[in-house]
Homo-oligomer: A and B are copies of this chain.
Amino acid sequence: MSTLAIATAKEVFDLLHDDLRAIEREFGGDTVSSVAAITEISEYLREGGGKRIRPSLLLLSAKAQGYTGGGMIRLGAVVEMVHTATLVHDDIIDAADTRRGRPSANTTWGNAKCVLAGDWLYMQAFRVALEERSFRILDLLIGLTQQMVEGELLQMEKLGRCISEDEYNALIYRKTACLFEVSMRLGSVLAATGVDVQSNGHLHSDSASTPITSMEERMGEYGRSLGMAFQIVDDVLDLTASEEVLGKPVASDLREGKATLAVIHALENGTDAERAAIQTVLTDQDFHRVTHAEILAILGRHRSVDYAMNIAFQYADAARNALSVLPESDYKRALLWVPDFVVARDK
């Protein structure tokens, strides 16, 4: 690749094509069990696709730091397995009918098998990670999954209620940004272990004796900021996109009683009547008494969507800034491109 800037998603995927295929194979091999239901459910979920954002981040982080070993393939599969496990359990919790445009696993196999399949996927992720023989990797993964579970429980406790921007930030960090952060950090841990590492002295100086390097901190900052931007945009699209573009019902967050950033802004800046209208939707979890159009009008009056998008842009900037410590490479250029892509997408 000769141009300085990366312009399209295709260029990034070309850059990672072989490694992402290797991760698919690893994921596929890791999730074959002697118990038929586990293999079936895992295969169904794996074939359901998804954007593979988390393994891509891990690959870009590791490669941008000069890592060339097989650990990034194994851990790429691990972060996708953790992500998949959370989706299986979340679908049970939300009693979801569909996931990524197909029947959700719980509607096909039932809640009981899906509880266990999710448990098994978590354990398998840890088992594969354990093979790297790095306590730092396990600390990151176990801490991560616990944060994600706590985030899901916090969200349940806040359904139907107005929440503050701080509460929203804590929720989306645990729900999304935390796994982005850990994916980026894992790339640094691999690069810093010195196993299978390409010679790249200035990055790995004393990393063996210093468990958490400043490089890892910056990579974590990138992942966290990117994840926050990603979820804010996701939540805005849920409010504003058409069902046609989104491929799923719009305003599903409000229908589930979830107040997201733009709505929180309108709650904090609206009139008493506007606040009451929003609270009615959160309480009713439908648009019978107050319509979706009325909510959009309230958000429009207070430029609440602009407010939310502006914060997403700030997070995207923060993510890019965190990359200043990386040496120039195609992988760094790809990482610089991702935040733009995340905030500019329309679905």
Could you list which residues of chain A lie within 8 angstroms of chain B, going by C-beta atoms? 33-38, 89, 92-93, 111-113, 115-120, 122-124, 126-127, 130, 133, 135, 138-139, 142-143, 145-146, 149-150, 152-154, 156-157
Contact = CB atoms under 8 A, between A and B. Distances in A.
Given A122-B119, A122-B122, A126-B142, A150 B34 contact: yes
A146 B130 contact: no
Nearest to A38: B153
A130 B111 CA distance: 30
B130 A139 contact: yes
Contact of A115 (B92, B113, B127): B92
A95 B133 CA distance: 39
| Copies of this chain in the oligomer | 2
A227 B318 CA distance: 55
A135 to B, nearest CB: 6
Given A119-B145, A150-B33, A153-B38, A112 B127 contact: no
A170 to B, nearest CB: 10
A116 B145 contact: no
A243 B305 CA distance: 62
B143 A127 contact: yes
Interchain residue pairs A-B with the least CB separation, the first 10: A93-B112, A123-B146, A119-B149, A35-B153, A35-B150, A120-B149, A127-B142, A116-B153, A126-B142, A123-B145
